[in-house]
């Protein structure tokens, strides 16, 4: 029997099991789940539908396209880069190699920001990347004036496409932190690079090889960007304005101390859903 004939008789269930094994052989985390996501990307079928169709014969062209995607994932290319999107705060964001993939931990920052914002407030999001923080605040929160800044032109192109897709009237600026920022805001948010340089080589291949290095590297101690932003932030905040960061799990004390030295009040550290320190908040 030829390979072509064999492939025309491949069921969806067999293809899923084959994909899972291919990914597991390369130590891809959550191999079974990723195999399902890749099939959903091609067919639009959720997990329940995939189970219902497991004995159905898979078309040869679809099988070949599916296995091609699985081979990409087996190279440890992030799933989100392959399918081109990531859900964040219930919204779909375009992602690629020019931006960090939005992560659930960052949703904690958005949730706390939504609690303090009111109609007419202005927000500046630095190191905006895909724009997921700013665009989520503007889409889900009160009527806001929002600006996102990033040093990467490529990242801002992604952010602008996300803006258009979500129908949000945000402004994105190519800037090295505050270098092109002239206005004042009610809230400044940032998820800056915070991984110490020496830690990056030990990260998962999906991160160290495919996330943009400039979005990871927080310099020697991981605190360089927090220091720069915190020092300048008071000049760009209205009286009573808030500064809100995502942080690494061991950075809460150091970043809180920076805010205190810069004159911020009521500084607090909020935890993520795993119980780790994740967000630092303070106001002038």
Provide the percentage of residues in the chain whose pLDDT is more than 90: 96
Q: Which domain holds residue 22?
A: 3-75
* CA atoms of 138 and 129, how far apart (whole Å): 16
Count of alpha carbons within 13 Å of 135, Cβ hemisphere only?
29
| Interatomic CA distance for residues 29 and 39, integer angstroms | 17
User: Quick one: pLDDT at residue 5?
Assistant: 40
Tell me the pLDDT band of 1, cut-offs 50, 70 and 90: very low
Query: Whole-angstrom Cα distance, residue 276 to residue 248?
Result: 9
Same domain for 113 and 65, yes or no, is: no
Could you tell me if 123 and 40 lie in one domain? no
Phi, psi of 253 (to 5 degrees): -65, -45
Q: Is the pLDDT of residue 27 over 80?
A: yes
Determine the Cα angle at 244 with ends 121 and 190, to 5°. 95
If one counts every other C-beta atom within 10 angstroms of the C-beta of residue 178, the result is: 18
161 pLDDT exceeds 50? yes
Shared domain for 200 and 259, answered yes or no, is yes
Residues 211 and 107 in one domain: yes
Could you tell me if residue 257 is inside a domain?
yes
- pLDDT at residue 185 greater than cutoff 90: yes
**Is 106 within the bounds of a domain?**
yes
Write the CATH number for 48.
Answer: 1.10.8
DSSP 94: E
Q: What share of the chain is helix, strand, coil (3-state, %, to 5)?
A: 45, 20, 35
Q: What's the pLDDT band for 3 if we cut at 50, 70, 90? A: very low
Domain-embedded: residue 81: no
Please state the domain count of the chain: 2
- 53-111 pLDDT per residue, tens: 999 999 999 999 999 999 999 999 999 999 999 999 999 999 999 999 999 999 999 99
Q: Is 242 exposed, middle or buried (0-12, 13-18, 19+ CB in 10 A)?
A: buried
* 201 shares a domain with 236: yes
Query: For residue 235, is pLDDT > 50?
Result: yes
Would you say 251 and 222 are in contact if contact means Cβ atoms under 8 Å apart? Answer: yes
Rg (CA), the chain: 22
What mean pLDDT do residues 151-162 have? Answer: 98
Co-location of 37 and 92 in the same domain? no
pLDDT of residue 2 exceeding 60: no
Q: Do 109 and 47 share a structural domain?
A: no
- Rounded distance, CA 191 to CA 171, Å? 18
pLDDT score for 8: 52
Query: CATH number, domain at 248?
Result: 3.40.50.150
Residue 80 located in a structural domain? no
| Mean pLDDT for all residues in the chain | 95
Domain boundary among the residues 20, 43, 75 is at 75
Domain boundary among 23, 51, 75: 75
User: With 60 as the cut, is the pLDDT of residue 14 above it?
Assistant: yes
Same structural domain for residues 247 and 266?
yes
User: Is 28 domain-assigned?
Assistant: yes
pTM for this one? 0.91
Q: How confident is the model at residue 186 (pLDDT cuts 50, 70, 90)?
A: very high
* Residue 252: inside a domain: yes
| Pair 34, 118 in one domain | no
Same domain, 156 and 69: no
Strand 277-283 and strand 265-271: the pairing is antiparallel
Is 9's pLDDT higher than 90?
no
Residue from 183, 191, 180, 172 nearest 236 by CA: 183
DSSP three-state, residue 182: coil
Alpha-carbon dihedral 239, 124, 134, 161, rounded to 10 degrees: 160
H/E segment holding residue 109 = helix 104-116
Final residue before a domain boundary, out of 47, 75, 103 = 75
Q: Are residues 65 and 116 in the same domain?
A: no
Q: Are residues 107 and 13 in the same domain?
A: no
- Bridge-based pairing of strands 185-190 and 122-126 is parallel
For the chain, where are the E strands, in sequence order?
A: 85-88, 91-94, 122-126, 145-150, 171-174, 185-190, 237-246, 265-271, 277-283
Asked if residue 137 belongs to a domain, the reply is yes
């Amino acid at each position: 029997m030829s390979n072509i004939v064999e492939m025309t008789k491949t069921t969806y269930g067999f293809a899923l099991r084959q994909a899972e094994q291919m990914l597991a052989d390369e130590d891809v985390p959550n191999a079974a789940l990723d195999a399902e996501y890749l099939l959903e990307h091609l067919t639009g079928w959720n997990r329940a539908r995939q189970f219902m169709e497991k004995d159905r014969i898979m078309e040869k062209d679809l099988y070949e396209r599916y296995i091609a995607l699985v081979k990409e994932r087996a190279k440890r290319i992030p799933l989100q880069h392959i399918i081109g999107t990531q859900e964040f705060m219930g919204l779909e964001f375009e992602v690629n190699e020019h931006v960090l993939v939005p992560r659930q931990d960052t949703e904690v920052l958005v949730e706390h920001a939504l609690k303090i914002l009111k109609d007419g407030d202005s927000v500046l999001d630095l190191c905006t990347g895909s724009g997921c923080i700013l665009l989520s605040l503007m889409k889900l929160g009160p009527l806001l004036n929002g600006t996102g800044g990033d040093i990467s032109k490529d990242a801002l192109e992604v952010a602008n496409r996300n803006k258009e897709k979500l129908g949000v009237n945000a402004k994105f600026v190519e800037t090295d932190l505050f270098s092109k920022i002239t206005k004042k805001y009610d809230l400044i948010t940032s998820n800056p690079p915070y991984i110490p340089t020496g830690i990056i080589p030990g990260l998962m291949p999906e991160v160290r090889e495919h996330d943009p290095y400039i979005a990871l590297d927080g310099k020697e101690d991981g605190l360089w960007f927090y220091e720069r932003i915190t020092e300048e932030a008071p000049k760009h905040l209205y009286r009573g304005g808030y500064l809100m960061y995502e942080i690494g799990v061991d950075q809460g004390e150091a970043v809180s101390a920076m805010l205190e030295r810069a004159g911020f009040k009521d500084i607090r550290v909020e935890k993520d859903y795993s119980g780790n320190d994740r967000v630092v908040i303070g106001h002038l």
